[in-house]
Structure 1
Amino acid sequence: MKRLLAAAALTLGLYGIAQAAIDTYEFANDAQRERFTQLTKELRCPKCQNQDIADSNAPIAADLRREIHRMLGEGQSNQQIVEFMVDRYGDFVRYKPPVNARTWLLWYGPYVLLGGGLLVLGVIVLRRRRVENAAVADVQLSEQERARLDALLNSTSAEKTSND
């Protein structure tokens, strides 16, 4: 019985591997293969969102790999291929989108938020210091309290000198 269960588990595990698509493309030379690898690592899968099209098993990623292979075969440059993908899927398809008016928030937004957070923190700290300083400055001793404080301070210093 144990052997039957082990065989069933192994068969189910291998079934998932057998279903994985393996793309095989023929290239004119190694430079073209290198360009294909670079482009598929540089472009993001529109469906998976955080995976490049080289590693994605999504059908759209397979289509994009085929399209890149076709365009490389036609002799198009890397820039032309990337521009085609950006025109079709937007700047999202690039892992490193260009800095322009549409992507300003993406590039500089975190720094703006960090600066704003530090500014708010600074304002809070300064307000607390002002409140503490104002509370200390507002403490005014009456004449009777001052005389008692002086007497205590003098008696303490007199005790210290006599003990030494």
Structure 2
Amino acid sequence: MKRLILILTLLAAPVWAVQPDEVLDDPALEERARDLSTGLRCPVCQNESIDESNAGISRDLRILLRERLVAGDSDEEAVQFLVNRYGEYILLSPTKSGANLVLWLAAPVLLLVAAGVGYASVRARSKAKAPETLTDAEKARLEEIMRS
């Protein structure tokens, strides 16, 4: 029974990341803050949102995000404030423009290049001539070299 409680506690741990003192009084603002914080990456944890992370920096970011929303920022303005401060790394889903466009397109382009190279090499092998056999003089010379 203790193990089951421990497992359930560990599985539910991300739910407890947002502390009660962080929660806003206005339910609409709190819902906006929770929605936005699920799309922001914790700078310390790898690929974990600030909403799920228990790291201290995530707590600070959640509080800062809520302060921006209470101050009257729109969702885009609040997120852009954090991006300006911490860079695009903070976005769990980076923008698909500018330099990021190269990263988004690199994998499909490389896949097509690899498929083309593979197709060309298979095609070249199928068109290759069969190796020629040795003449009697070449076979005799080979036997002589092998004996010595």
Q: How does the TM-score come out when normalised to structure 1?
A: 0.65
Measured against aligned partners, the alpha-carbon deviations of 1:95-124 in whole angstroms (never above 9, x if no partner) come to 221122210222111101111110111111
**Higher RCO, 1 or 2 (CA under 8 Å, sep at least 6)?**
2
Does structure 1 retain, via aligned residues, the 8 Å contact 2:41–2:90?
yes
- Amino acid across the alignment from 2:130: A
State the partner residue of 1:77.
Answer: 74
Does structure 1 retain, via aligned residues, the 8 Å contact 2:42–2:50?
yes
Change (3 A) 1:29 1:80: same
Alpha-carbon offset, residue 72 of structure 1: 1.3
Gap regions ≥5 residues in structure 1: 1-5, 140-164
Please tell me whether residue 30 in structure 1 is matched to residue 27 in structure 2.
Answer: yes
State the partner residue of 1:91.
Answer: 88
Alpha-carbon offset, residue 27 of structure 1: 2.4
Alpha-carbon offset, residue 62 of structure 1: 0.8
State how many pairs are aligned. Answer: 121
- Residue identity (%): 33
Change (3 A) 1:81 1:46: same
Q: Stretches of 4+ moved more than 4 A in 1? A: none
More helix by share: 1
Does structure 1 retain, via aligned residues, the 8 Å contact 2:36–2:75?
yes
The alignment yields a C-alpha RMSD, in angstroms, of: 2.6
State the partner residue of 1:151.
Answer: none
Gap regions ≥5 residues in structure 2: 134-148
- Tell me, in whole angstroms, the C-alpha distance in 2 between the residues paired with 1:26 and 1:127: 66
- Tell me, in whole angstroms, the C-alpha distance in 1 between the residues paired with 2:41 and 2:17: 18
Please tell me whether residue 50 in structure 1 is matched to residue 47 in structure 2.
Answer: yes
Q: Which has the larger radius of gyration?
A: 1
- Tell me, in whole angstroms, the C-alpha distance in 2 between the residues paired with 1:22 and 1:76: 21
- Amino acid across the alignment from 1:95: L
